[in-house]
A and B are shown apart, each in its own frame.
Chain A
Amino acid sequence: MVQIHNAFTLFLSLLVEAMPFLLIGVLLSSSLLFLIDERQLITKLPKNPLLGAVVGSCIGFLFPVCECGNVPVARRLLLKGVSPSIAISFLLAAPTINPVVIWSTWIAFGEQPFIVILRVLFSLAIAIFIGFIFSNQTNSQPLLQPTLVKRLTRWQSNYDLNKVNLEQKPEKVSPLLQSGSFLLNRGQILAMDASLGEKRPDFLPLPSKLSKFYLFSENVVQELRELGGMLILGSAIAAIIQVFVPREFVLSLGQNAITSILAMMLLSAIVSICSTVDSFFALSFAATFTSSSLLAFLIFGPMIDIKGIGLMLSVFKPRIIIYIFALAAQLTFILTFIYGYMF
């Protein structure tokens, strides 16, 4: 009974902590829907895979969201046709490479500036590396969940069509009147012939501010419903694991330099604490763990946690999440272990 009570408390606290950030992420993602023109976005983002990954990891500076807020934004970027390498490097880096998190880490570890600097550098390096690996995959469809693929294909067909229309040179039409039936629409004269279906005339009135707001709020509600559900599920799983695998047990796994890195990585995944505050949580282990294991906690936690896996499952196929998870874990271990040699 006590365990259920504890699990419920943990569940609620995770949810209360994460929900505002998810909301910010969803609001940001919905505003991206209207504020950014996808065609411009794609033309402006670099084509070079490495450069794309670097840019993707630094987008976090513009959108200070933690690991719950970055999923909706990454999802939106993918839906807008941004390459997976950019979206994934953003997904991994944004929770750490943003001003709020860097500032809070500085407050907690200001006396050990190496931890602050290396948290940023290592997170950036891991995000760029994994983003670069995903640039190998030019077609993003095999990575994504079927529902997302459907939306993406719908979008892409629209996009291709527009592109075709743009590329097609207008036929030379005689300025004289033609015979036939015509649709008169906002000054446009459309002949009712076979070409009408392809042109897809826009019969709707231009979106007014009100209708834009309506679309925006509709999108917010829809995303919150989808991702909020996943967050609740993720938080519940994380809470249950924390009750049945207590922190003391995880901490007791750290018995030397190597196992303490692993224990802190495991802890970071289980406690699912938000990246904006995790440095204060980590600080409480400063007495009992090595700097390299604290660093591992600070790098790995924001990238992967159980609560976030639920959200990621709404975007990516499970095996893609396993790749991201494994690569992030291995790179975190290697980098922090090497750091352990030096300090």
Chain B
Amino acid sequence: MNQRLLEPIDKTAIAVIFVFSILIGLLVWGSDACGKDCIFHTGPQVSNFSWQNKLVGGEDRAFILTFNRPMDRRSVEKNLVINPPLPGQFSWSGRRLAYTLKTPVLYGETYQVQLAGAKEKFAGSNDRGEEIQPFVGEFRSRDRAFVYIGSKGEEKGRLILQNWTEQTKTILTPANLIVFEFKPYPQGDKILFSAAEKSSGDNALLTLQLYTVATGINQSKDRQVTPEIELILDNHQYQNNKFDLSQDGKVIVVQRVNRQNHNDFGLWIIREDRQPQPLGDSPGGDFSIAPDSKTIAVAQGEGIALLPLQPDAEPLDFLSKFGRVVTFSPDGSSAIMVNYNKDNPELRYTRSLFYVNNLGVEKELLNLEGSILDCKFHPNATHLYCLLTKLEKAEEYREEPYLAKINLQTGEILPILTLPEYQDSKISMAPDGRGILFDQILTTDLVSAVNVPTDNSGKAIVDSRLWLLIPSSAKVHHIEKLPLAGFHPQWIP
């Protein structure tokens, strides 16, 4: 045995084991002896906060706090403070805490997340252990801002950005372009718009081109640059009509007509940095891209065709019951559709509003003789705000628009506001649900009105007002006229 112990490996191994034992002793002693602030101390702490210094928006619904060791869950839940308060739910997965917000973050706020006093808890021990190192995290929500088309003076026909958080107003587009339609990109950094040269005069609607412009919001002040526009789609061979932008901002779908051959009419798709491609055999009317950014709903014949956003692809589905998709919920799980009741003689000439979701639920919300102009989901998807019209059977038929709030659970319909003389058809819901923007416009049939923006029916807009409705849980809603001259207001996401 003695001879064996003399083998080199025995000597080396025993020596190394001895050295390591001393090292381990030192490490263990060090972590115990050198107090809480020492680098040798391994106390519980937050090892990651997923929203740290992040700019969040309505689409961000949960943050994750990761701890370096198992925590006493109740003590964490009790001690987590968010300032200003954000109601939400706790859920745990291992050492990670997910906090899911019940409502979207309020825009234009800076939030602080604090955790102190929570304790670690190991499975083997019944006692709560050491207290966590106090943690302070911070995140900011995007600026509260909206864009509209100006209607007076030098702002006429130009895109105007109104940033309420920064209290600034910026004219985004040059004076030589008249803007007709626009859609903000999902992060609000850019806006896609269709516009015509002022010089095109009466032909403006036939010469629309697609552009993007950077908004410069949510950037530090020193980085702000003058808005620059970029041409996305020209009007040389094709006339561009309506367009839509996908929720992920990566796909644009445009309805185009060949200038030489009017039978060459259909939808075109433009992906990021790619040439426009016709979407194949897709004639139809109104269309909108579904929130999954992979499907498009097109009104075809007496129904709605769901097409994949691929050239020459087979339709995914055909909804023969419905004639129009009004809106999708922000998460894409449900949609609001209109049934024109053509199959039911008793309900003929009425329209029914349906709530349809991906679990197969189909719920009729209301049936009316008037029109359904537009609907928007509240971000929580508990309510729907709709712009409807009431058919007044006086000497002649007249439609009176009104704004209504529909509770999706109970089906209760609450008319909020009547809008006499209202002619436009769109409302815009703030991404945090704190405001609904709409406009009121005055149009003219006068032919002399050239180089002015038009409404959906092609009439020239001569005056307009912007209104802000602040939704409330009570029956009384606050409504405010904004001191801005413009129309088509839309919140920046």
A interface residues with partner B (beta carbon < 8 Å): 133-134, 136-138, 142-143, 251-260, 263, 286-292, 319-320, 323, 326-327, 330-331, 333-334, 337-338, 340-341, 343
Contacts and interface: CB of A to CB of B under 8 A. Distances in A.
B465 interface: no
B10 to A, nearest CB: 7
B211 interface: no
Interface in B1-33: 4, 7-10, 12-14, 16-17, 20-21, 23-24, 27-28, 31
Contacts of B40: 341
A292 B28 CA distance: 14
Contacts of A255: 122, 124-125, 129
B69 interface: yes
B176 to A, nearest CB: 52
Contact of B9 (A134, A288, A334): A134
B260 interface: no
B11 to A, nearest CB: 8
Given A327-B13, A341-B39, A258 B124 contact: no
B20 A337 contact: no
Given A287-B93, A337-B28, 12 more contacts: A134-B9, A136-B9, A142-B9, A252-B125, A253-B124, A287-B95, A288-B122, A290-B68, A323-B10, A323-B14, A334-B23, A341-B40
B124 A323 contact: no
B349 interface: no
A251 B124 contact: yes
Contact of B92 (A136, A137, A142, A287): A287
6 contacts: A138-B8, A255-B125, A256-B130, A257-B69, A323-B10, A337-B28
A275 B184 CA distance: 51
Interface in B111-145: 122-125, 129-130
A326 B17 contact: yes
A286 B94 contact: yes
Nearest to B129: A256
B219 interface: no
A258 B28 contact: yes
Nearest to A323: B13
Contact of A133 (B4, B16, B92): B16
Question: Sorted from nearest, which 7 A-B pairs have the closest CB atoms?
Answer: A288-B123, A286-B94, A137-B9, A252-B124, A323-B13, A330-B20, A287-B94
Contact of B20 (A253, A290, A331): A331
Nearest to B21: A330
Nearest to B19: A330
B28 A327 contact: no
B42 A289 contact: no
A257 B31 contact: yes
A323 B9 CA distance: 9
